[in-house]
Each structure stands twice: as C-alpha cells, then as structure tokens.
C-alpha cells in the first residue's frame, strides 16, 4: 500500500509519566544534560517529551534492554532521579516495553 509502511522492528521503549510539582531552570539544564548523555553514551535512538498542565510524558527508544539497564545505572542519571523525586515531581511511573512493529505514514507530495 502506498501511504504507509509496516516493518518488523525490535527495540525497547521507556515511557516516563509524571505529575509535576515544580520545574525550574535547574530542571531544564538537567533534562538537556540527561538527554545528551543518553544519546552519546548509552545508545538512545530517539526521545520525545511533552508537558501539558501538571503532566509530563517522555518516551525514549533503545536498541535493547541491556542499553536501558546501563542507562538506569548511570550515576549522573541516578542523581537526576533523586532530584526528580525530591524536587520536581509529585509522583511518577516508568513503563518499559518492547516495540515489535512500527507503522509510518509516507509524506504526501
């Protein structure tokens, strides 16, 4: 079919959902630093974050569970997690899932 592609793909998605307490300049700096660290040192394939009202959702994509575990164990990431729990978020949850198929609409010209 000409309007979409369907391909088998194996990767891991991490879905982070949080209820925001307070986001300040330190948060913006830390978020940018963690994003860069994830891409540069842990193989993060893609990352999106959206904030609406007091809700934040971030989705990151990784080549494997091993990549996610290494990222989770990083000492700077652990520091960011502590700050998130103590300062920026009222509560949060993390879901880790496998992406087995991806659909994408082709651009219309």
Q: Residue 58 sits in a domain of what CATH number?
A: 3.30.70.100
**Structurally, how many domains does the chain consist of?**
1
Give domain status of residue 5, yes or no: no
Range of the domain at 17: 11-101
Asked if residue 4 is part of any domain, the answer here is no
Residue 46 belongs to some domain of the structure: yes
Q: What's the start-to-end Cα distance of the chain, in Å?
A: 16
Query: How much of the chain is in helix, strand and coil states, percent to nearest 5?
Result: 40, 45, 15
> Would you say residue 91 lies in a domain?
yes
For 3-54, what is each residue's pLDDT tens digit?
445 565 689 999 999 999 999 999 999 999 999 999 999 999 999 999 999 9
User: Residue 66 pLDDT > 70, yes or no?
Assistant: yes
2 in any annotated domain: no
Is 19 inside a domain boundary? yes
Give pLDDT, residue 79. Answer: 97
Instruction: Label residue 85 exposed, middle or buried (CB < 10 Å: 0-12, 13-18, 19+).
Output: middle
Identify whether 6 is part of a domain: no
Compute φ and ψ for 76, nearest 5 degrees.
-70, -35
Q: Distance between alpha carbon 45 and the CA centroid of its chain, in Å?
A: 10
- Band (108; pLDDT cuts 50, 70, 90): confident
Beta strands in 1-109 (DSSP E): 4-20, 46-52, 55-62, 89-105
Does 76 fall in a domain? yes
């Amino acid at each position: 079919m000409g309007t979409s592609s369907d391909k088998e793909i194996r990767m891991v998605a991490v879905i982070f959902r949080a209820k925001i307490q307070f986001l300040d300049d330190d948060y913006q700096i830390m978020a940018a630093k963690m994003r860069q660290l994830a891409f540069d040192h842990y193989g993060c394939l893609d990352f999106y974050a959206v904030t609406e009202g007091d809700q934040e959702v971030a989705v990151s994509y990784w080549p494997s569970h091993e990549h996610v575990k290494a990222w989770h164990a990083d000492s700077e990431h652990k520091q960011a997690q502590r700050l998130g729990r103590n300062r920026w978020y009222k509560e949060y949850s993390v879901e880790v899932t496998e992406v087995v198929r991806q659909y994408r609409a082709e651009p219309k010209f």
